[in-house]
């Protein structure tokens, strides 16, 4: 029988070996515990047989930051696969995350079906978009070459320095508050050192209006030139169409030396609205799944509701935490949403979410009609209008893979 416990410093090398085998890379002999990470392992006869990493994050949802347990590096040694070790590890990992205050949990699965039994469901994806660099150079819309009109002012693109690090972070923060799903890039799991923000990139371009940052683009040049050479865009964040176009054209100026550009994205690719050719090849798509660890707390983070409603709903089905399935009483209105778990048994005659369906609905990734058609929400429809009104739609995106 497996023993489940947290890894101690002496176990890190064995955990690194498992990760290297699972994800196809060389082990890092200098591996150490990452900031904001906890490691949980399943040990058989004293040997590490499987492990999972729990990262401490905050995610942007509904205009606020939500404590998030990021699940990653789920690996099982080849000789121990098929023994149900993930079934033992995941509930313990979720207990750790919830005990640390996480309201939700996110992960990038290698296979989406594995984690549905623990309460997760897909809400968006992260991918790389390959576009012709010349198409970026010819971007149309309200921008002129290198600059753009914006409310009578002009967007200026310049190269950032380390002194601009906080301005880049603030621009990302503002963008994140308008989405559902992106990780906050502040806190223990992200570097606070300004120089680290620029590590691993060729540069960061800033888009400004009268000295105010209205967008940025972090990018890597890559090697070589001509046919087959690529640029890689890690972030392309524009707070307006004009800022996005100005940044796209600046990257497009490399068209004579790099014919393709990879843009890391989630949801609609940001330059697709403005490119003339518009063709995009998606590669390395990764689904992002969300699970709710504390439904009452999660509902309490929803914004004020334009409809007034008092009703009960149920969560039915398997979840990694036994405290999640059950019956919930909800009160929604202009003062916000309050919810309370009233019992472990689902209520007869309630609208009922699957645990994953609850995550999809709460995240704004799909509406009530879509959830019902997928079987993620069942039962009476009397409160469907209230359920729809409680979750305003925002773009659902994630840019940081963990």
Q: What are the tens digits of pLDDT across the range 134-184?
A: 999 999 765 444 444 433 458 999 999 999 999 999 999 999 999 999 999
In terms of Cβ atoms closer than 10 Å to its own Cβ (0-12, 13-18, 19+), residue 384 is middle
Find residue 204's DSSP bridge partners.
218
Q: What is the pLDDT of residues 127-143, one digit of tens each?
A: 999 999 999 999 976 54
pLDDT at site 153:
57
Burial environment of residue 234 by CB neighbours within 10 A (0 to 12, 13 to 18, 19 or more):
middle
Q: How confident is the model at residue 29 (pLDDT cuts 50, 70, 90)?
A: confident
Note the pLDDT of residue 142. Answer: 54
**CB-CB neighbours of 211 under 10 Å:** 7
Confidence band of 1 (pLDDT split at 50, 70, 90): confident
145 compared with 118, residue with greater pLDDT: 118
How much of the chain, in percent, has pLDDT values that exceed 90?
A: 90
- Give the separation between CA 217 and CA 238, rounded to whole angstroms: 8
Tokens found for residue 398 = 């994630």
User: For domain 139-274, which architecture applies?
Assistant: 3-Layer(aba) Sandwich (3.40)
Q: Name the residue ranges covered by the structural domains of the chain.
A: 3-102, 139-274, 291-390
Residue 110 has φ and ψ, to the nearest 5°, of -80, -25
Looking at residue 226, what is its pLDDT?
Answer: 87
The H or E element containing residue 295 is: helix 295-300
Residue closest to 52 by CA, chosen among 18, 26, 28: 18
Name the average pLDDT for the chain: 94
Position 150 scores a pLDDT of 39
Quick: pLDDT tens for 69-113.
Answer: 999 999 999 999 999 999 999 999 999 999 999 999 999 999 999
8 Å CB contact between 171 and 233:
no
Query: How much is the pLDDT for 59?
Result: 98
Backbone angles phi, psi at 24, to 5 degrees: 70, 55
Residue 159 tokens read as 């190269």
Cα 141 from Cα 262, distance rounded (Å)? 21
Percentage, residues of the chain above pLDDT 70: 97
Token representation of residue 213: 């940052």
Q: What is the CATH number of domain 3-102?
A: 3.40.630.30
Contacts of 86 (CB under 8 A, 6+ apart): 50, 74, 76, 114
Q: Which two tokens stand for residue 223?
A: 């090697």
The pLDDT confidence band at residue 47, using thresholds 50, 70 and 90, is very high
- Give tens-digit pLDDT for 246-266: 999 999 999 999 999 999 999
Which pLDDT value is given to residue 339?
98
pLDDT tens per residue, range 263-322: 999 999 999 999 999 999 999 999 999 999 999 999 999 999 998 999 999 999 999 999
Supply the pTM of this predicted model: 0.94
**Whether the domain at 3-102 and the domain at 139-274 fall into the same CATH topology:** yes
Question: Does the domain formed by 291-390 have CATH 2.40.37.10?
Answer: no
Phi–psi pair at 255, nearest 5 degrees: -60, -30
Q: What is the DSSP string of 360-371?
A: HHHHTSS-HHHH
Task: Please state, as a whole number, how many other Cβ atoms lie within 10 Å of the Cβ of residue 253.
Answer: 14
Burial 19-57 (b: 16+ CB within 10 A, else e): beebeeeeeeeeeeeeeebbbbbbbbeeebbbbbbbbbb
- How far apart CA 70 and CA 92 sit, in angstroms, is 14
């Amino acid at each position: 029988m497996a023993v489940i416990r947290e890894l101690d410093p002496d176990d890190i090398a064995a955990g690194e070996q498992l990760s290297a085998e699972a994800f196809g890379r060389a082990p890092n002999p200098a591996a150490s515990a990452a900031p904001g990470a906890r490691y949980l392992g399943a040990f058989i006869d004293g040997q590490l047989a499987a492990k999972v990493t729990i990262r401490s994050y905050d995610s942007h949802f509904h205009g606020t930051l939500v404590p998030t347990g990021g699940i990653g590096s789920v690996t099982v040694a080849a000789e121990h696969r098929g023994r149900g070790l993930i079934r033992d590890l995941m509930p313990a990992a979720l207990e750790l995350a919830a005990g640390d205050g996480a309201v939700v949990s996110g992960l990038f699965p290698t296979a989406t079906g594995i984690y549905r039994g623990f309460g997760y469901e897909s809400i968006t994806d992260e991918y790389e978009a390959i576009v012709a660099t010349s198409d970026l150079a010819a971007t149309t819309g309200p921008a002129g070459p290198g600059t753009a009109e914006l409310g009578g002012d002009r967007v200026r693109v310049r190269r950032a320095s380390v002194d601009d690090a906080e301005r880049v972070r603030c621009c990302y923060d503002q963008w994140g508050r308008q989405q559902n799903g992106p990780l906050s890039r502040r806190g223990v799991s992200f570097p606070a050192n300004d120089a680290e923000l620029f590590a691993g990139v060729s540069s960061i371009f800033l888009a400004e209006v009268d000295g105010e940052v209205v967008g940025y683009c972090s990018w890597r040049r890559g090697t070589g030139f001509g046919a087959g050479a690529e640029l890689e865009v890690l972030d392309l964040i524009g707070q307006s169409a004009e800022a996005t176009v100005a940044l796209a054209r600046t990257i497009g100026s490399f068209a004579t030396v790099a014919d393709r550009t990879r843009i890391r994205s989630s949801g609609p690719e940001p330059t697709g609205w403005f490119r003339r050719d518009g063709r995009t090849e998606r590669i390395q798509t990764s689904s992002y799944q969300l699970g709710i660890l504390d439904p009452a707390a999660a509902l309490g983070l929803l914004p004020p509701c334009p409809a007034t409603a008092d009703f009960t709903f149920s969560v039915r089905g398997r979840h990694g935490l036994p405290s999640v399935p059950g019956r919930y009483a909800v009160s929604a209105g202009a003062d916000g949403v309050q919810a309370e778990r009233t019992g472990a048994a689902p209520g007869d005659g309630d609208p009922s979410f699957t645990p994953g369906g609850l995550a999809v609905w709460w995240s704004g990734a799909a509406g009530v009609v879509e959830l019902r058609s997928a079987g993620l929400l069942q039962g009476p429809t009397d409160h469907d209008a209230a359920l729809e009104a409680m979750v305003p739609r925002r773009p659902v995106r994630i840019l940081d893979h963990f």
